[in-house]
A and B are shown apart, each in its own frame.
Chain A
Amino acid sequence: MSRFELMEGSKAIAEAVALCRPHVISAYPITPQTHIVEYLAKKVADGETQADFSTVESEMAAASYVLGASAAGARTYTASSSQGILLMSEVLYNLAGMRLPAVITCANRAVSAPLNIWNDHQDSMAVRDAGLIQLYARDAQEAADLHIQAFRISEDSRVELPVMVCVDGYLITHAFEPVELPEQAEVDAFLPPRQTDRKLDPRHPLTFGAFADQAYYMETRFQLHQAVLRSRSVIEEVGADFTKAFGREYGKHVEAYRADDAAALFVGMGSMMGTVEDAVDELRAQGKKVGSLRLRTYRPFPADQICALIKENQKVGVLDKSISMGAGGILASEVRSALHAGSMRTPVTGFIVGLGGRDVTAETISRLLQRLEGPPADAVFVDLKPDLLGDLAETWKSTWETVATTQRS
Chain B
Amino acid sequence: MKIPTGAVVDPATSLENETGTWRAQVPVYLHEKCTGCRLCEWYCPDNCVVGEGKHFEPDLRYCKGCGICAQVCPVKDIIMQAEAR
Contacts and interface: CB of A to CB of B under 8 A. Distances in A.
A213 B17 CA distance: 10
Contact of A220 (B3, B11, B17): B3
A216 B5 contact: no
B11 A216 contact: no
Contacts of A212: 7
Contacts of A98: 6-8
Contact of B9 (A100, A206, A223): A206
Contacts of B6: 97-100, 160, 198, 208
Contact of B11 (A100, A206, A219): A206
Contacts of B4: 198
Given A207-B13, A211-B17, A198 B7 contact: no
Contacts of A189: none
Interface residues of B, number: 12
B7 A216 contact: yes
Give the interface centre of B6, B11, B17 by most chain A CB atoms within 10 Å.
B6
A210 interface: yes
B7 A205 contact: no
A92 to B, nearest CB: 14
A207 B12 CA distance: 8
Contacts of B11: 205-207
Interface of B: 3-11, 13-14, 17
25 contacts: A97-B7, A98-B6, A98-B7, A100-B6, A160-B6, A198-B6, A198-B8, A205-B11, A206-B8, A206-B9, A206-B10, A207-B9, A207-B11, A207-B13, A208-B6, A210-B7, A210-B8, A210-B13, A211-B13, A212-B7, A213-B17, A216-B3, A216-B7, A219-B3, A220-B7
Top 4 nearest A-B pairs by Cβ distance? A99-B6, A98-B6, A205-B11, A220-B7
